[in-house]
Every structure is written in C-alpha cells, then in structure tokens.
Structure 1
Amino acid sequence: MKDISVTLKDTYDGATTDEAGNYSFQTSEKGNHILVFTNPRFVEIEKSISVGNENLSINSELKEQISEIDAVTITAGSIEASDRKRATVLLTPIDIYTTAGADGQISSALNYLPGVQKVGENEGLFIRGGTGAETKIFIDGSLINNYFTNSVPGIAGRDRFNTSLFKGNIFSSGGYSALYGQALSGVLLLESVDLPATTSYDFGISPLFASANYQKLSDSKTYSYGASLGYFNLGLVQKILKYNTDFSKPAQGFGGDVNFRMKTKSGGMFKYYGSFDTNQMAVKSQSLEPEYDKTKVDLNASNQFHNLSFKQKLGSYLLNAGTTISFNDSKLNFATIKNETETPQTDFDTKGNYFNLKTVLERKLGKISAVRGGMEFNNSHDTNNFGQDHNDLISSFFAETDLGFSNNFSAKLGLRAENSSYLHQTNFAPRFALGYRFTKNLTGSLAYGIFYQNPESKYLNSDAPLSFQRAEHYVFQLQQNIEGRNLRAEIFYKDYSKLIKTVGNQYVQTAINNDGNGFAKGAEIFWRDRKTFKNIDYWISYSYLDSKRDFMNYPVSLVPNFAAKHTLSVVAKKFVTEWKTGFNLSYTYASGRPYYDIVSQNQTNIIRHEGTLKDYSGLNFSLNYLPNIGKKDSKAFTVLVLSVSNILGNKNVYGYNFSNDGLRSSAVVPPVNTFVFIGAFISFGVDKTNDAINNNL
C-alpha cells in the first residue's frame, strides 16, 4: 500500500512505502522501540520491536480510518447547498441572487436545476411529472403551508419569503428522508440564518418597490432582533412596458416581518420569525362568450406566518423542535362586463388556518452513523363561502438511521407512519438509500421510497370515500467532483397510484374517487464548472421526462399539461474585479407541453380540443455593480442591479382557455414578454463588498 509513513517513535528515522507497500530504512537506534504506521486514511498502528544488529522485516495490516469528512454522502435525488462541511455546494443564496431571470426567488432559481419543469402560469415547483402541490417546502424542518403569494388564474404567485432569510437549502426531487412526508414528488428544505455578523441597516429602492430592514446584534453577540417593511406596486412599470395582461388594478401589496434569535449558554439556538403581507390586483380580459365584452377577476388577499424553532444538544443527543402557524385569507371576485357595465358573477372567499409541530431527536453512533426519530402534527382548517368546512389533523411518527459501514459505503434506512383524521386512515412508508464510492472522485447513490399525500382540500366537495395518494420512487445517481467541477447524472422512475379523479367545471372540481394512476421516468444531467475559464462560473442542466397520468378530470391516461419532454438550462456568470461588476446570463429551452380542453358532461369527462404548445425559449441577462459610496472605512455596501428577462422578446405561450361551447379560445401568456428591473440595495453597518466579490469568483 502506497504512502504509508513508517517511523521509529520519538526518532527521525523512518521511510514511506512504495506502490507495492514495501519500505526500508536504516537506524542507529538500539534496544526496545515502537514502530509506527500512519496515514490519514487509516487507523494508526504501533508495534513493539527490538532493534539489534540484524535486519528486521515487520509487516502490518492497516484498517481504514472512519471519518465524517471522508465518508461517502448519499445524494440520490437531492442537491444540497449549505455551510455544512459535507455539503456539495450547488445553489447558495448568492447563486440565487446572481442567477439572471430568477428575480432573487429561490423557487425561480430552482427552475435552472434538473428535474424542475418550466411552468409559468401557476406557482409551485413542478418536479419530474408531479404537480406544484406535490412538492412541499420546509423552514428549519417545519412545514410552510403557504410559501407562495395568492394569485389569479393564469398568473403565478411569487415567493413570500426573502432569500436572504436562509443560509442554505436542500432540494430533493425524489427518494427523500423519512423525516418529511405529505409530498408525492419532492421537498425543498430551507435553513434560516443564525445570528447576523453585526448590527446593520438595509434599504432597497426600485420603480417596483421600496423596502427597509434593521438588524440589531447584542454587544455580547448572544442574541439579535430585527424588523423589515416593504411595499410594491407595478403601476409605474406597467405604464412603461408593453404588458400582455390588462391590469385594471396593478399588482400591489404591503408586508413586513420581525425576528428574534438567541444563542443559549450551552450552545443551542432559539429562533422566531413572523411575517404578514397583503396582495391585491384586478385583471381584465376579452370575453370568450359572445354575450359579454370582457371578464374581470379581482384578488384581495392577506397572510400571516409565524415560525419558532429550537436546537439544543442534550448530552449525547441533539434536539430539533419547531412549529409554524399561518393564516391565509383570499377573496377572488369574478365579473362580466357589457357596454362598460360590470356585473358580478361568482365570488370565491377562502380562508385557511394551518398549524405544524415537529420534534426530532438524534444521536450519533460512532463517527459516521446516527439514529434519529420524532413526531409531527399538521392541522389544516379550510373554509369557503360555498359551505365547505374542511378540517384534517395528520399525525406522523418517523424513525431513521444512517449506517456508515466504511468511508466508501453507507446506507440510510427509514420508516414513516401517518394518520389522517379526515380520511380515517393510516399509512406506513418505508424509505432506504445506499451510497458507494467507486473511486476518489466518483460516487454512486441509490434511493427508494414510498410516499403518501392527502388529496388537496379544494377538491373535497363531496362525501366520496377517499384515501391517501401514493407514489413509489426509484432513483440512481452517479456524481463526480474534481477541483471546481461537478458532474451529476440521474435516472429515475416514479409509479403513482390512488390519484384523485374529479368532475366539474373550470371554476370548481370535485373529487369522486381515488382510481387515478400514472408514471414518470427519465434521465437528467447536471454539469457545473468553476475552473476551466478564469473568473467564470457556469452550469448546464438537461432533463428528459416521459410521463403519463390518468388523474383529475383526465378521461384517459395523458401526458400532463405541465410536463415537457425535454428541458435544457444554461447559466453563466462572470465577475470583473476591476469593475466590481458581475455579468450574468441564463437560458432555458423546453419542448412544447400538451394542452387540453376537457369538460364534464353527465358526470363524464371528455376532451373537446387538444394539441401541443410551441417550444418555450427564454434568454435572460442581469448586471450587478458594486460602486464605492461614502468613505473607504464607512462599512457601507451598495449593489446596483439591472435585470432583463426574456431579452429577445420571445412570445411564449403557457396554454389556452376555451369558451363554454368550445368554439373560441385565447392563449395564456406571460403578463409581459420582456421584463426590465432596475434597483439599488444599500447596507450600512457591514461592508459586504469582499464577500460579494469572493462568492462570485
């Protein structure tokens, strides 16, 4: 075995083994000594020897050193970006802010990773043939029931949470841990920041919004508190840019948040975060019905969110506990317009109260093994003005173990059990994953799991007996990391069963049974390179997806209208240090998705029209300039941002709406083809210039 150091203890005499494991050296020492065999990868061996005048031949068998840093990490189905020492850093907060076209939103930046479908007309993460509702998002382990803002049909909601609130994320597109449930397709795990580096003031200003933020760090650096306020209004931008959408009331809103963080004397961390926001807009469009000139939908919504989390070591155990509470109120008013006279038609007033409580207790077993378990309770209460009053308490218990057999081989075994008070049913979901290192830089991972999810409450308008929706995931990944270059290749298969089937109209769908099914299979490649070209960071991702589903109001098994067979994304970033300027480009191509006009007739669903949308294509550009403002030692940091989305002005289409009789249609398009953003962000109290530069190199 090569490069084993062999020395006489407490002397300078020794040698290093060659490729065959042989070594030799001379010494002037005599008598009893200790011969030491050392190498960072192996457990140190000491052998007692007696040195005389004769030659000695001493052999030794070395045992591999078990190390948390060297141990193989199971990554099938997931991409992790955090400050953890074993993380494969692929999408950090600075990546999100500097990705052109992401608009600083975590969910938008994830669209440039493999497995995520480009869907512009609805909010949510559409992963590997799954709907946006089948992906759940967690903050510090607790479920966020309302991550996206409320929206009107055809216009996607935005992220409610500021990206700077989080220091890292784990994005899993399949085969995820038993700690998380109620998600058929994937999970996004967000980890919030701890104490800020110093007291600071932040301001943001643009034609779209104005914001202010204050963070106070105590002199003892053991606790901090802060607050922020923000207001946005698209009215001015709509007058400048040519919009496809007629906003009779421009999208606007007001919000704020408060936070408190405290480090305990024993090294634990307590965090509180609370926020509120309001959201209004009104949209007019040409009516597809000949008896009306236009239709109008008016949105007025508000939301509150509160999160408490606590992390603490208790002897040999690590306790993670957290809870979230959210309140959501959304009013959608539909009206028709004839000869400029507005007539109300339908009102949708929905309210939701959500509570999540989760506790996880973990114990390390040696250096690379661990066992953890816990419980989770998620209660949802949804009501609307149509008499629906839905209440469901999902009680979950889970256990999981990490088994490190060597630095090159590890396994994860888990089991999750859930009970739904609404469905009056219990499920058991086993999960397991394996990881193996083939060479120093090449690892493989295999993941399998069963996943369950309740039907969405908005479809529960009847007494039809329903059960959990079910999915099985199979994921295999190969990953190679070599000095600033990362290559990932995955193949996957998902088998869906017990999907809900519905009947209804374009406004209300009602679940009638769990007879739906489907599958999704495909392959993905991700390549990131920070080394080949000086000061250039780029990544390329490609996804192939073959998926069909017989669910919702589909009369037969169809390719879902949110699934594109081919998706390609390219992101490139270059920071010019002399100019203190970052140049960012991104491009996305997606093959045309299918569209359907499906209606219910006599409780039977039929397809009146179907087809394929034209291919999606979008090129985005952004520029980040860090000017010198104020005195050199003023600890001020300023970023000027210019961002242009869909710079070539491609006229993308997301789908079609059809008239009641099916004779007329209109395209669902983005609110604006090319969007331009200009803004300034100023911080006082800490100069982040060097961090911003270094994170872009």
Structure 2
Amino acid sequence: MKTVKQKLLFFIALLSFMISYSQVKITGKVTFRNKGVGEVNVTLKSTYDGATTDTNGNFSFETTEKGNYRLIFTHPKYIDVEKPIVIENQEISISAELKEQINEIDAVVVSAGSIEASDKKRATALLSPIDIYTTAGADGQISSALNYLPGVQKVGETEGLFIRGGTGTEAKIFMDGSLINNYFSNSVPGIAGRDRFNTSLFKGNIFSSGGYSALYGQALSGALMLESVDLPDKSSYDFGISPIFLSAGFQKLSEDKNHSYGATLGYSLLSLMQNVFNFNTDFIDAPQGLNSDFNFRIKTKSGGFFKYYGMYDTNKMGVRSESLEPGYGFSLVRLKGKNTYHNLSFKQKFGKYLLNAGTSYSYNRSDLNFSTETNEKESPKTQLLTDGNYINFKAVLERKINKISALRGGFELNNTDEKLNFETVNKHYKDLISSVFVETDLGFSNQLSAKIGLRAENSSFLNKSNIAPRFALAYRLAKDWTTSIAYGLFYQNPESKYINAPADLDFQKSRHYIFQLQRSSEGRSLRFEAFYKQYDQLTKVKNIANINNQNQPVQSAVNNDGYGYAKGLEVFWRDKKTFENIDYWISYSFLDSKRDFMNYPMSLKPNFASEHTLSVVAKRFIPEWKTGVNLSYTYAKGRPYYDIITENDINIIRHEGRLKDYNALNLSFNYLPNLGKKDAKAFTVFVLSISNVLGTKNVYGYNFSISDNPAKNSAVVPPVNTFVFIGAFISFGVDKTQDAINNNL
C-alpha cells in the first residue's frame, strides 16, 4: 500500500514539474503617448490565455502554447493592435504603443459661437423644441426663446434676431438648409411681427451667434439652422382652443410607414382680449390672421428621403395713435399682409457620398395705408405697397473621410424680385446671388478637431464678387473641459428696402473672432465665450420721403462708408442635476458696440444694443399634481435712443438719451390631466401663461415729431404690459402629454 502511495505522489510531482516546465511567461507594457494605459485586454489569439493591464500599463501571464501566435491588445478608446510572437521555452517581453480610436461619441466637437439642439444630441441640447414650449415668456416661438440665450438682445419694437451688436436683418434663418425669406409675419411700425412657423414643425436646431459654417451666407451676425421633423410615429389628430385662436390638424402615416402627409388650419383674433386687458395700443382693427399648411414625407426604396412643407397665411390690423404733428388729431395705419412659403428637400446616399438638395419659394405682400384723423374726419390714405418673390436652391455633396472627418461642397442660388410703391418712389429690385462653397471637418484625434471652409459669392445687382474664409479649432483640455476658437469673414448685400435710387454699392462686411471655454458633464453645462466683431462697408442712407405724419422716413442707400465694432463676454450655465425635477439656466451677456451706419452722423452706440443682459429660466414638474411650473426673468440695461434729423443735407442729433432698464418676470403652468392613463383615447394639455407678471412699464424707444416748434415725442411701448394666455391642446392617436414635460429632467 505504501508503494502505491509513493508512486502516486511521484506521478503528481512529475506531472506538476512537466506543466510548470512547459509554461512560458509573457510580460510587457502598453502605452499611449509614452504613458501607461490601464484596463487593456491582452490575449493570445485563438486561446483563453491573457491578462489585463494595471494602472501603469503592465501585464503578465503564462501559457503552455508553443509556436507562432499573435498577441492582441484591445481597449474601447483605442484601435486594436496585433503583435506576432514566437513561443518557445524562454520568457517573452513585448511592448505595444496604442493609437487612439476616433469615434463620434468621444471626439471633441467644434462649437465656438454655436449652440446645437437635436434628437442626436439630446444629452447636451440647449434649446430643444420642448425647451421652447416650456420657457415662460417665449409664447412657443423659437425666436422669442432665443432671447433667453447669451448673445441675443431683447428688442421688442421690431422683429428679428439681434445678435452681438447686429441688427435684426443681419441674422438669417434656414429650414433644412434652404433660406427662409420673411420668417416673421407682416406688421406695423413699433409692433414686432411673430414667427410664421410652428415650433412643432422642427425636431432640432443649430443657433450660431458667430463664426458659422461656410455652407451659409448673407448674414453679418449669425444664423439659425432649423431641421424639420421626419415621418411621424403614427397617425394623429390635433386641436387647439383659446380665447385668441382656434386650430386643427392631422398627420396620416401609411401602413408601410414609408410615407406620410398632414395639414393644419388656424385662425386668430385679438378682439376678445381687448375687452379684458388694458392695452397700450389702440387697435382700430384688432390683429387677426388665418394660416394653413400642408406637408408630406416620402422614404424611397433606395433609402432616399423627400420632405415638403407649404404654408399660406394672411393677417391684418389697424392702429391709431396721437399725432405728433401740430394740426392733426390722430395718425392711423392699417395693414393687410399675405405670405406663402414652400420648401422641398431631398437626401440620398450614393455609396460613400451623401447628397442634400433643397429648394424654397416664398411670396410676401405688405400693404400699409397711412392717414390722419381730425374731428373724426379721415384724410386720404397714403399707400406703401411691397411685393416680393424669392427663390432659393442649394445642393451639398458630402463624403466621410473617417468617423469624425468629412469633406463637403456645393453651390447655392438665391433670387430676389421685389417691387415697392410709395408716392413718388417706384422701384423694381432684382438680384441673383450665386454661391459656391467647400468645407472640411478634420478630426485629428478625440482631443483635437478643426473645421475649415471657404465661400465665394457673386451678386448680379452689385456686379461684384467676394471670397470668405472660415476657420474653427477645438481642443479637449480635460475629460469635461474643451476650448474652441473661430474666425470668419462674412458678407451681406445692403438691404433692398434702402436701394431706391442708383448708387455705387458693395457688400457689407464683418469679421468674427471667437474664443470659447466649455465644461459639459451629465446634467450640467458651463460656457464662457469672448468675441470681437469688426464691421466694414456698412450702408449709409439719406431720407428721401416721409410717411405721412408718422415720422417713418423712406430712406435710400448712398454709399458703403459705414463701419463699427462689437466686443463682449458671455456666460451660460445650465443645471438639470443639482435639484430634483428642476431644470434651470442662467445667461449673462456684456456687449460693447459702436457703429457709424444708416443715418448716424457719427460713431454711436446702436439704439438696439444693451450693454448688460441677464436672463434666468427655471422649470419644475410636479408629478403628483401632473403640473409643470415654468418661470423666466430678463433684465437689460437701458438702450440709447436718438432723434436724428437732416438739416442742410447733414444729419444731426436733435435729442438723445437712455431708456429705463428693461425688466420682465414671466410665469406659465402646464396641466396634464391624462398623464399616466394608458387607456386614454385623447391626451390634453392645459396651458396658463402670464407675461410680465409684475406689470413693469417697459419702454422700447421714442418717436419724435418732425416739427421742432416745439418738438414732441411719444414712447414706443409693448401693446400690453401684462398679458394672460389660457388654452387647451388635444391630441388623438399620439400621446403628446410627455412633450409638455421637459423629458431631460
């Protein structure tokens, strides 16, 4: 028995010795840019042998395999590396240098001057459609919601995006790549036009307050790029009702889910609210409007995608105000406007190439009639009639170089045909702006990327051409910190409404220099941005006629001798994480700007530019009450104002001063009674919104009389100090209640 045990022990010892003797130890180190990399999987191909590197990049394991093998090094953030080895009886030491894995998720993105919000970037979206609907005081309008972001000035007396010291017409708005002419509704002097387009039409946007892509042009200050929705999830019917408007619409999705079509119809009238609120504006004809639209979406068998959107609207209003001129009682202005817009876009992949093509057409008519009223007798009307036809076509071809690098190029045609008639002024303005552009995204690594572009334009009216380079660079400083710089040269034609007589004109020009520092982490975002803009060849004008007793001069461009600058610092902080179910953001803008343009007699601070602007937005959803509470506040330092007249063909400042500081606190509530009811056939959202809760009497500017004996003035104020909106929105077929909750909370 003892002999058997001895033999067994001897056999086990011999077997252990043979196994240990046959094992070969493999060691090494894995590095990236001479630094050890941890958590790298090191495996012997086609075997189970391997190890994981430690924090210093070192690894060690043993194998019994013999012969020619390949050692594989893998890590999610780096490109896989394979090393050939020959395993014999001696220990092996091998090192590997990794290369960074370039991917869309980890790569730093150039963002100087722009804020992007889309379905693809929901985690960092700063202005998604749901943000717009749940921002108190925005009234569901994209342009109004942008006023709560840094860089955008609060200018209430006229429509447009006033960006970093630029006028409202120096920012352009695009839909699926095509220019939208007349984005805002027609209006009368002193009252801003509203957005013509429903916010729910768009699934995302990129807002650039400077340094924007070479794919876009004719905007000295900034650009807003809107992306329309694709196919709906299912068929649905929608209704909206309030004391101000009625609306109805539907979306029909095909059974194969490859195409859809839909339409909406709406009517608005303000007369009922005039009986409830004390309006500052005397509307002799209450603002009213009729709007309708139609859309279809088609997904082709080859993977292409067609989108069409068409709309038609009419609006009218009449305003009476006390005349500033002696001998007249009241000044009257009446408006009749109509507009149609059509947009067709197509997207298709051809192998490694992606084609984006689109065209748009718009027609706009504004019929303004001016008169005076004395002893209830109205003088004959003076008509200011403008008609405009606009056609835009654009094609972009893009090729991916790798996951974060691409090359794209294309061309754009923008044709304008306008007519204006006012007393002795009759003009017919035509212009074709032809553009070509090329741009590349260069991803050098996950830490470094660049965007380089070039755009060239030719104007048939000016008979001149330009070339505009654009450049931007982004670098990741640390895990959550990135920095970006951007430079760009931008051109824009003089506004056609000032071209009433022959003049030797050129493109207006601006240069943008932008520096940005940003920290983005889960639920929080912090941005610092500094900028400098230099303006050259700005339009100078002179008065050629006055609209009867309104002191609204018809002006004509005379040269491009204007110039100016704008510089400033902006801060943006958004936090969705610190407080439960609360989303808030704070934005601050400092702006120093001066211009000598239009009828300014010298370089002045623009009357649309505020030195300090602060906005706070907060949103809280209370599940147990099924209610969302939204609050916003805006402060803006008083803007300057000027009364500029012409004496002996020289412009002089007759009166000047500074407006009182602007303050407005807004509040809104969303109540969702069907929330959580899965068997509900209809989904309803009730909305209550109160603008300027405290009733602050804000002033936008002053109108001055033509006569100086004595000079009279009147304040330009909002139509109403405090306004309350209440309405209900009902959906059949699709549960849209969640859309009323900020789903980023």
Shared fold per TM-score greater than 0.5: yes
User: How far, CA to CA, are the matches of 2:736 and 2:375 in structure 1?
Assistant: 57
Alignment-derived partner of residue 326 in structure 2: 290
2:511 maps to what in 1? Answer: 472
Q: Which amino acid aligns with 1:355?
A: I
Q: Aligned equivalents of 1:367 and 1:301: distance in 2?
A: 48
Counterpart of 1:200 in structure 2 is 236
Equivalent positions of 1:253-264 (< 5 A) are 253-264=289-300
Q: SS of the residue aligned with 2:624?
A: helix
Match of 1:318 among 354, 368, 387: 354
SS at match of 1:84: helix
Aligned to 1:512: 558
Q: CA deviation at 1:409?
A: 1.0
Q: Hey, what does 2:366 align to over in structure 1?
A: 330
Q: Is the 8 A contact 2:346 2:356 kept in 1?
A: yes
Deviation of 1:571 after TM superposition, in Å, equals 0.5
Q: Which digits, 9 at most, give the CA deviation of each residue in 1:54-75, with x for residues without a partner? A: 4332211111111122221100
**TM superposition shift of 1:366:** 2.0
Deviations 1:460-482 (A, max 9, x none): 01111111000001111111111
Q: Is the counterpart of residue 572 in structure 1 residue 608 in structure 2? A: no
Indicate the residue corresponding to 1:665 in structure 2: 713
Counterpart for residue 549 of structure 2? none
CA distance in 2, matches of 1:453, 1:88: 32
2:374 maps to amino acid: K
Aligned mate of 1:185, from 202, 221, 234: 221
Q: Secondary structure at the match of 1:478?
A: strand
Q: Which segment drifts farther, 286-295 or 16-25?
A: 16-25
Name the CA distance, whole Å, in 2 between partners of 1:602 and 1:395.
41
1:547-591 Cα deviation digits (max 9, x unpaired): 000000000000000000000001000111222211100000000
In 2: Cα distance, 1:526 partner to 1:478 partner: 11
2:133/2:740 contact within 8 Å kept? no
Give 1:52 deviation, angstroms. 5.0
In structure 1, what residue type is equivalent to 2:535? Y
CA distance in 2 between counterparts of 1:335 and 1:87 reads: 54
Q: Which string of whole-angstrom CA distances, capped at 9 and with x for unpartnered residues, describes residues 197-219 of structure 1?
A: 11000000000000000110000
Determine if the alignment matches structure 1 residue 678 to structure 2 residue 717: no
Corresponding residue number in structure 2 for 1:23 = 59
Query: How far does the alpha carbon of each residue in 1:357-413 deviate from its partner, in whole angstroms, 9 at most, with x for none?
Result: 111111111222111111111111111223111111111111111111111111111
1:237 counterpart SS class:
helix
Q: Secondary structure at the match of 1:183?
A: coil
- Which amino acid is 1:660 matched to? I
Q: Distance in 2 between matches of 1:602 and 1:331?
A: 33
Partner of 1:14: 50
Q: 1:545 maps to which residue?
A: 591
Provide the residue aligned with 1:131 in structure 2.
167
Matches within 5 A, 1:566-645: 566-628=612-674, 632-645=678-691
Alignment partner of 1:280 out of 304, 310, 316: 316
Residue 451, structure 1, aligned to residue 490, structure 2? yes
Counterpart CA distance in 2 for 1:273 and 1:361 is 23
Q: Structure 2 vs 1, CA of residues 165 and 261 (structure 1 numbering), >3 Å: closer, same or farther?
A: same
CA distance in 1, matches of 2:275, 2:553: 31
SS in 1 for 2:358: strand
Give the Cα separation in 2 of the matches to 1:452 and 1:214.
41
Q: Aligned residue pairs: how many?
A: 697
Is it true that 1:654 corresponds to 2:716 in the alignment?
no
Q: Given that residues 69 and 86 in structure 1 are in contact (C-alpha distance below 8 angstroms), is that contact kept between their aligned partners in structure 2?
A: no
| Among candidates 388, 392, 416, match of residue 380 of structure 1 | 416
CA shift, 1:19, in A, is: 2.7
Question: What's the C-alpha RMSD, in Å, of the aligned pairs?
Answer: 1.5
- In 2, the alpha carbon distance for the partners of 1:692 and 1:338 equals 51
Write the distance in 1 (CA, Å) between the matches of 2:584 and 2:332.
Answer: 43
Asked if residue 438 in structure 1 is aligned to residue 481 in structure 2, the reply is no
Answer yes or no: is the 8 Å Cα contact 1:503–1:604 preserved in 2. Answer: no
* Separation in structure 1 between the aligned mates of residue 353 and residue 44 of structure 2, nearest angstrom: 41
Q: Where do 5+ consecutive residues of structure 1 fail to align?
A: none
SS at match of 1:372: strand
User: How many Å separate the matches in 1 of 2:480 and 2:47?
Assistant: 36
Contact 1:577 1:693 in 2 (8 A): no
Partner residue, 2:577: 531
Q: Which residue of 1 aligns with 2:33?
A: none
C-alpha distance in structure 1 between counterparts of 2:740 and 2:264, whole Å: 22
CA distance in 2, matches of 1:281, 1:315: 54
- Counterpart residue number, 2:278: 242
Q: C-alpha distance in 1, partners of 2:742/2:607? A: 42
1:107 alignment partner, SS class: helix
Distance in 1 between the 2:698 and 2:742 partners?
36
- Secondary structure of the residue aligned to 1:661 is coil
Instruction: Answer whether contact 1:81 1:87 (CA < 8 A) is retained.
Output: no
What code does the residue aligned with 1:671 have? P
- Residue in 2 aligned with 1:229? 265
Look up the equivalent residue of 1:402 and give its one-letter code.
Answer: D
Length-normalised TM-score, structure 1: 0.98
Partner Cα distance (1:629, 1:440) in 2: 39
- Find the aligned partners of 2:591 and 2:377 in 1 and give their Cα distance: 47
Distance 1:583 1:27 in 2: 64
Please tell me the residue identity of whatever aligns with 1:90: L
CA contact under 8 A between 2:294 and 2:309: conserved in structure 1? yes
**Matches of 2:40 and 2:238, distance apart in 1:** 54
User: SS of the counterpart of 2:191?
Assistant: coil
Q: Which amino acid aligns with 1:657?
A: N
CA contact (8 A) 1:574 1:696 kept: no
2:13: which partner in 1?
none
- 2:84 and 2:169 map into 1 onto residues whose CA distance is 65
TM-superposed CA distance for 1:87, in Å, is 7.8
Matches within 5 A, 1:342-353: 342-353=378-389
Q: Is the 8 A contact 1:580 1:693 kept in 2?
A: no
Q: TM-score, normalised by structure 2?
A: 0.92
Deviation at 1:266, TM superposition (A): 1.6
* 1:476–1:577 distance in 2 versus 1, CA, 3 Å: same
Distance 2:152 2:692 in 1: 19
* Alignment partners' CA distance in 2, 1:629 and 1:403: 46
Deviation at 1:30, TM superposition (A): 4.9
Equivalent AA in structure 1 for residue 392 of structure 2? N
AA matched with 2:507: F
For residue 51 of structure 1, report the CA deviation from its aligned partner.
4.1
